[in-house]
Structure 1
């Protein structure tokens, strides 16, 4: 048996090495013949056979195990001419054969129309980054579509150098660029600045934008003189979808659920019963004495039930019409109805520390949020091309975010000296809030080439933003525990304490115009671009606030809101003398001049100056007790120079160096000298507040080796004079303290860092990484509560150096990508890391609140299931990551056995807050025709 076995093995080995068993391998890359860029998704076939390959993310194709013989290679890619070539393959041959495709052109009455990079693609995004005059990061519509995020705010956390501030349910709301607080950035839509519905600041809540309506997201990090100058951190420019060259239609529908709400009930209330106006506004205004029947009880009647599934829909349709396709029209809309929740653990420190500057915890709060958000985004654009030199367009945008929030809070007193079962009061608060935010914008713009050297662009826009919080209602009750004569714990009955109502409305309306004139002569044989222009914006902001307190008629047990008997404690409300009802008028005018030219063949120089003039006038609702600052006018002018160098090593590599000056204006709420009771300290405005001004330096190396691969390495430095920080100030005496925004004048703030972006694709696999290191420093005046040499305790004013609020030293994102285009499979696994940062700056030395570092994981998958039809799934917060806020101070006195404080499990710090949000699941169907 051994000899036949040996013969069999030897024969098998020889046969496997014989030419008859060998097969050829053919591989290569499909390229654009002019740019050399690889083309992803191009079909390559061997004519007359079943062999077909689709180029991967890096433009590569490969055929394996091909028998020797003569073949014809054929590829026909959209907007490129058909390519074919005959080739002979021999056995055991490994051939690399690159294919260069020529772009197709069409003659339309002697006007040559050429193809260009398709809108919304990664290729267009990389091209925008490479050719831009500014340092910027660009995210395409396709990348946004494949991310697990459904709002622009959540998309922004994936961009290099951007962190986000989250709302009570864990979703991103505001963006922080390069560690600079949200006040230091602004938002534009198609290059036009829009007003904010935020009741306090200029910044836009970025969660109002559904992600589906974007064509591109630009995060601009250096300003040129032709850009508005009030951005020290950066600019977020949302580019909406444009009319396509041919008919486009896409639609999607999805549903999902928040895992947290599957494990507990969802609390809701009847928001339709809410009165839009307060009793005074409904009954003649100031002086009306409200009665109990003026207040609905339906929005304080909370119902517990199961959460409904989320529902998301989107639609985009566009085309070009008329002769030569002069008229372009596009409409894009998105509707999202989502249910979210969070569970919070909050330890509330005292308004001042214990002697020795040690934290003093007074209360433990347990909160549950139940939130329903309905988000609507609609945009449409109509453009008309008179000819190749003149075009006008009309753009409209409507955004709406309605948030119905129920918040249930149990507030217990911290008692660290107890020797048995706990006693003391327990306060319970049930709050209902309906917050309605809207942004409406209409922009008319024109682009005109007057001569071969002179061009004029103009834009006129009307925008309106509103925020309405009608009848925010809170029902306050109390219970607790005591001891009977035998020392047993006895739970007290739940009593009604107070029933409060407040109304707030903010309206912010802009009228603005922009003009840019470009002249491009030749000087010494070189094209030189001169630009001059300006803008003017008139803004009217109106803020209205009124609140009422109702108290029970005697001691009453709480059963439900309908059984309570109340009297109105403040029948005229706060309308008559209210610092929070104010109007602001702001006029901003600006002019600029800049020039751009090539110095030699590789160095581009752009320089210029911008001048911005600010006029503001505010009025607080008339108060018979006149006070300083009740009305005020503020004016100032800023001169903002800029100089930018771009050295093009070759057509794939750039080195950039930039300097520019910029400013950050105070928020409208901050310059009005209001006074308002906060949760810990009174809060106030400051009419002496000045804008912060910064000198900014940027450098970046850029390499775009092929396709959508890239390597970006940059550094930045910012020196900020008059930075705006919140400080604890005495207000009439040592025990009367108020938090107000002030300019830190003792020392400038500094902020510097390093950014790295790396993207690489290997056929079907890809990896995208970005990392940002940021280091900022600001000196604050704070207080210390310590004993002196005699043993007496005193407050001392000291200085403390700390990072800017919201600045994380380390930020990182990673995406692992798999695209199998032949079967229509696209998968993204994303990791986002945000390092430790200050969440709240304490007025006392060493007692800042720090948010611990967070790592979140997400997964999104899309699969083609039929022609033009795709199924997709998105899973967010895979690790169920909690947001944790801590205070780096001793907690030994709170951990005395056996009655140590609950939830204090952090090893070397005191827990201040812990938020759990749960995982979010989404599945849907998408139809795409373009």
Structure 2
């Protein structure tokens, strides 16, 4: 029986959270008590100076009074005759006799001069976050002023100040910190200048109260401030940097971060570790896997224009999920704005390989343009139900079989369209409003739409057939829609945020190719219609609470995420090319009705799958700051619970005339060459019993192609953020994770004549203690040296542990799961030197080393029938080491007074890596072919060592950017080294991706008082070939290989050599040109 995720699991997580909080309360000695009643006092003053009133209040209430010395005259006289009055009643009565106002902030009373209503014409704003220079934490209650105008930072350390248009000098001060002046703050009408400021702690004084919140991360300087003071080693990219690239989704953005590469234009590889070794958080919450056949998340479904920043943590701390050994990718959507705005953006573009050219596709629906597959394509588990179909086969119920087959839609046949230009639109709005003294309500809404039609041209040679593809075109019809809705409520001590995001990506590929199968006579015309949709929805509620004057914080969150991925109706159709019809000017094709002994879709048919995964997270943590002398310390403890449920089903149907029809059976027309496939495979022919859909799979019936699973993960952690010396920072912690996973899928039939399946459920239970240690030494206020150690892990996913077979039409090979896969565990060591010459400049050098036990990889193996299959294996061990360099520097050193040189930046990151993974070739081959393994036959030659799958030996990113007040320009460069796309049991079966150079350009202009921005982008200017190849010369040499060589090493090394290597696939995608205009109100 299938298991479902019941509410008791959620309640168990809530119970563990409550228990952790109770234990923490006992350990820390923290007491929660009822709020005391407001004290009432008699206040009798006759013509007394304000200082006496303030001294009285400080003595009676414990409040501290803060004010501008040159703005508030303490000798101003007031008179009071109040009995049993509250603090606020005394303040109101006293200050209404003056030109001053007050604000209560925690246990602080802030006195300032009353402000006149600011002019609404010809004004702008300056806004930002005030940070502790050393710790990066926000500072509450600090004053920011210029002349007679000023404000005080809130609980998040944020401020906003409205000023008339002009140039100003800001003065910033806070108790215990050195004052600072910021000159040349230029205010433009209707615009907000983002200015994040740091203050240094004054010697011999105590630091101000630590409060809830972190730095606002919109600007590049804030991103580097957060990165510099992050307790874990990290790299990132901000919305400001993203806007200066032509990237339209997060997958394209990630390749610009140091140490990261992207596979298949959607899967991230961190430090050479393939996608299964990385984890992703969206707005702080872990996400389900978006793929049915691999443990990963498709980053291409998240539009880049909804992103505030992306940060990749490369070392672990105890408060992070323990399940990453490469990197933790944190994607954060846009937050509550500092000003009200409405932004509209529209764009168009073209590709020189696609736009305006013939575009072939199966029949389109109107819903395709909105990202919906449409009900007309869906048949699986609707009118056609696998269990009912299998029962009808067993009962030989032809009427039911014919009726169900007639419900499978007919989308056969290619239609000719014209590839249209790219379209892109975005509408977003947001704002915040004061809803009471010290209370703010904020809102952000955004929607985005993108549609593009691309053509890729390629030639290929498939080993599995073997088949030569000399002419092929892939027609890609892609629609993406997305929306976010965030609302926040903030007081002086509390903040609640509700975040929501939805994304849908509709990707319809039609692959049309002429293929020569060496095992058959002649050339075939083939097409594959592969339509895939992916939906992501996440809703998250989170809270931040300042619980005491001493800075004790409590944060919590609860969220729900859902991923739906499906191929509702994939078609693979073949025809034999007969001859050339001179009358029509076209080739004559013969579409065969397929034989009944086909075992999968590699000879034609229809395929469908549906994946649904739901994931809930709940958690909370306490942070207690304290001091040892004048040095700040911090203890943090918390709980994180994750509850997953996934369901996957697939079906493959092979059309044939009768259940045992021989190959070549045709429905002939008057000219004798047979009708087209769309005329043959009609619902009418199936309904009349002339045709029959045979379900096939690894088990023989479509009903067996499924898996489902549940996972319950409970984690608790304790970490200390300590500062034993002024320049030394130690973060140590321990995380405990208890995991239970159940995987349920088909095992066998009860008997050969029954439709009843014997399924199996395998339960895995594991517990792990995961220590982590990060040490930071501040050589100077701008230079850090970091060292880190952590133990992390990578768990096999449902699909990897489900023993069912998936056939990959693109690669012509099967992918087979492995019941009993074990955890991969890693020990990680990092050492980094980082220098921040200015808030917008960085130089960092990082060395890292990783040691793995039982890493999981997908490995190719040639089977007894000469076909290729991909298996999941636990390999023996692996190592990975590397060096990273990250650099960004202004050209202001050429001429410090020049705005041009100050705004011109050179940026680069470079990574070199070396890895090796070891395994016994004979043992793996025996496991793959289910034959006995004899260890006595082992020798040194049977142990193979090679690079990790997906690892590039080097990664190069570079860029030159300029951003003036009006004109901007940006040039970026990317290159990754040769990497193993698919690994084989022996080196002959390894598939490599050849390096290529990528150059992107952008020109931009800001007009109409910077309310309008125009951007022109060029993507992949060089348009070099994508080449996948085998480094061994094959026994049957392809046409490009020299004759006389047979299965030997490439004489020119491991790089691509067109004279010796077997070219698996060579693709041209074209250069894209886009034009975007945006206007902000």
TM-score bracket for the superposition, by shorter chain length = 0.7 to 0.9
1:315-352: per-residue Cα shift (whole Å, max 9, x none)? 2221111234511111222211111221121111258x
Aligned to 2:482: 377
Q: What is the CA distance between 1:570 and its match in structure 2?
A: 3.9
Establish whether residue 527 from structure 1 lines up as the match of residue 611 from structure 2: no
SS at match of 1:137: strand
CA contact (8 A) 2:708 2:798 kept: no
CA contact (8 A) 2:652 2:695 kept: no
Q: What is the CA distance between 1:267 and its match in structure 2?
A: 1.3
Go from structure 1 to structure 2 and tell me whether the alpha carbon gap of 1:668 and 1:365 turns closer, same or farther (over 3 Å shift).
Answer: farther
Go from structure 1 to structure 2 and tell me whether the alpha carbon gap of 1:906 and 1:116 turns closer, same or farther (over 3 Å shift).
Answer: same
**Among 420, 429, 447, which residue is 1:317 paired with?**
429
**Among 1021, 1024, 1027, which residue is 1:881 paired with?**
1024
Aligned to 2:1058: 906
SS at match of 2:749: coil
**Among 866, 873, 886, which residue is 1:742 paired with?**
873
**Among 880, 890, 895, which residue is 1:751 paired with?**
880
**Among 68, 75, 90, which residue is 2:167 paired with?**
75
Aligned to 2:326: 233
CA contact (8 A) 1:271 1:299 kept: no
Establish whether residue 782 from structure 1 lines up as the match of residue 907 from structure 2: no
Aligned to 2:263: 165
Aligned to 1:134: 232
Alpha-carbon separation, structure 1, partners of 2:1040 and 2:430:
69
Q: What is the CA distance between 1:831 and its match in structure 2?
A: 0.7
Alpha-carbon separation, structure 1, partners of 2:353 and 2:1005:
28
Alpha-carbon separation, structure 1, partners of 2:678 and 2:413:
8
CA contact (8 A) 1:75 1:82 kept: no
Q: What is the CA distance between 1:35 and its match in structure 2?
A: 9.2
Go from structure 1 to structure 2 and tell me whether the alpha carbon gap of 1:242 and 1:896 turns closer, same or farther (over 3 Å shift).
Answer: closer
Alpha-carbon separation, structure 1, partners of 2:241 and 2:324:
26
1:245-272: per-residue Cα shift (whole Å, max 9, x none)? 2213322100011211147411123243
Alpha-carbon separation, structure 2, partners of 1:246 and 1:552:
68
CA contact (8 A) 2:747 2:759 kept: no
Aligned to 2:4: none
Mapping for residues 533-552 of structure 1, pairs under 5 Å: 533-551=638-656
**Among 786, 805, 830, which residue is 1:698 paired with?**
830
CA contact (8 A) 2:855 2:878 kept: yes
Establish whether residue 465 from structure 1 lines up as the match of residue 563 from structure 2: yes
1:206-231: per-residue Cα shift (whole Å, max 9, x none)? 00010000111111111111000111
Mapping for residues 90-109 of structure 1, pairs under 5 Å: none
> Greater RCO between the two (CA within 8 Å, min separation 6)?
1
CA contact (8 A) 1:147 1:828 kept: yes
Q: What is the CA distance between 1:628 and its match in structure 2?
A: 9.4
1:458-484: per-residue Cα shift (whole Å, max 9, x none)? 0000111110210112222223689xx
Establish whether residue 924 from structure 1 lines up as the match of residue 1016 from structure 2: no
Aligned to 1:45: none
Aligned to 1:412: 516
Aligned to 1:624: 749
Aligned to 1:253: 346
Establish whether residue 438 from structure 1 lines up as the match of residue 550 from structure 2: no
Aligned to 1:769: 908
Alpha-carbon separation, structure 2, partners of 1:688 and 1:276:
37
CA contact (8 A) 2:356 2:420 kept: no
Establish whether residue 715 from structure 1 lines up as the match of residue 847 from structure 2: yes
1:623-680: per-residue Cα shift (whole Å, max 9, x none)? 5338998321111112110000011112211110000011111121110111345565
Aligned to 1:196: 289
Q: What is the CA distance between 1:683 and its match in structure 2?
A: 3.3
Establish whether residue 871 from structure 1 lines up as the match of residue 1014 from structure 2: yes
CA contact (8 A) 1:692 1:720 kept: yes
Aligned to 1:653: 783
Go from structure 1 to structure 2 and tell me whether the alpha carbon gap of 1:114 and 1:462 turns closer, same or farther (over 3 Å shift).
Answer: closer
Higher strand share: 1
Alpha-carbon separation, structure 2, partners of 1:887 and 1:570:
37
Go from structure 1 to structure 2 and tell me whether the alpha carbon gap of 1:876 and 1:736 turns closer, same or farther (over 3 Å shift).
Answer: closer
Could you say what the CA RMSD is over the residues aligned between the two structures, in angstroms?
3.6
Go from structure 1 to structure 2 and tell me whether the alpha carbon gap of 1:727 and 1:831 turns closer, same or farther (over 3 Å shift).
Answer: closer
SS at match of 1:143: helix
Go from structure 1 to structure 2 and tell me whether the alpha carbon gap of 1:84 and 1:591 turns closer, same or farther (over 3 Å shift).
Answer: closer
Alpha-carbon separation, structure 2, partners of 1:454 and 1:601:
22
**Among 578, 588, 596, which residue is 2:721 paired with?**
596
Alpha-carbon separation, structure 2, partners of 1:596 and 1:412:
65
CA contact (8 A) 1:117 1:123 kept: no
SS at match of 1:126: helix
Indicate the larger mover: 226-235 or 187-196: 187-196
Q: What is the CA distance between 1:33 and its match in structure 2?
A: 12
CA contact (8 A) 1:290 1:568 kept: no
Alpha-carbon separation, structure 1, partners of 2:212 and 2:279:
36
Q: What is the CA distance between 1:569 and its match in structure 2?
A: 4.0
Alpha-carbon separation, structure 1, partners of 2:704 and 2:385:
20
Alpha-carbon separation, structure 1, partners of 2:916 and 2:862:
25
1:18-40: per-residue Cα shift (whole Å, max 9, x none)? xxxxxxxxxxxxx9999999xxx
Establish whether residue 663 from structure 1 lines up as the match of residue 793 from structure 2: yes
Establish whether residue 147 from structure 1 lines up as the match of residue 277 from structure 2: no
TM-score, length basis structure 2: 0.69
Alpha-carbon separation, structure 2, partners of 1:388 and 1:858:
45
CA contact (8 A) 2:457 2:1067 kept: yes
1:776-811: per-residue Cα shift (whole Å, max 9, x none)? 1001333699xxxxxxxx999823211111111010
CA contact (8 A) 2:239 2:309 kept: yes
Aligned to 2:498: 394
Alpha-carbon separation, structure 2, partners of 1:33 and 1:539:
40
Establish whether residue 806 from structure 1 lines up as the match of residue 950 from structure 2: yes
SS at match of 1:282: coil
Q: What is the CA distance between 1:597 and its match in structure 2?
A: 0.9
Go from structure 1 to structure 2 and tell me whether the alpha carbon gap of 1:439 and 1:36 turns closer, same or farther (over 3 Å shift).
Answer: closer
Alpha-carbon separation, structure 2, partners of 1:500 and 1:328:
53
Go from structure 1 to structure 2 and tell me whether the alpha carbon gap of 1:434 and 1:349 turns closer, same or farther (over 3 Å shift).
Answer: closer
Go from structure 1 to structure 2 and tell me whether the alpha carbon gap of 1:800 and 1:78 turns closer, same or farther (over 3 Å shift).
Answer: farther
**Among 334, 339, 344, which residue is 2:448 paired with?**
334
SS at match of 2:253: helix
CA contact (8 A) 2:486 2:499 kept: yes
Go from structure 1 to structure 2 and tell me whether the alpha carbon gap of 1:686 and 1:897 turns closer, same or farther (over 3 Å shift).
Answer: closer
Aligned to 1:862: 1004
Alpha-carbon separation, structure 1, partners of 2:129 and 2:795:
47
SS at match of 2:243: helix
Aligned to 1:555: 666
Q: What is the CA distance between 1:537 and its match in structure 2?
A: 1.2
TM-score, length basis structure 1: 0.79
Q: What is the CA distance between 1:521 and its match in structure 2?
A: 2.4
Q: What is the CA distance between 1:443 and its match in structure 2?
A: 0.6
Mapping for residues 208-287 of structure 1, pairs under 5 Å: 208-262=301-355, 264-272=357-365, 275-278=376-379, 281-283=382-384, 286-287=387-388
Higher helix share: 2
Establish whether residue 819 from structure 1 lines up as the match of residue 963 from structure 2: yes
Go from structure 1 to structure 2 and tell me whether the alpha carbon gap of 1:281 and 1:115 turns closer, same or farther (over 3 Å shift).
Answer: closer
SS at match of 1:918: coil
Q: What is the CA distance between 1:202 and its match in structure 2?
A: 3.4
Give the aligned length. 799
Aligned to 1:108: none
CA contact (8 A) 2:746 2:758 kept: no
CA contact (8 A) 2:511 2:528 kept: yes
In structure 1, runs of 5+ residues without a counterpart are 1-30, 38-73, 86-99, 105-110, 167-171, 352-360, 416-422, 483-489, 786-793
Aligned to 1:477: 575
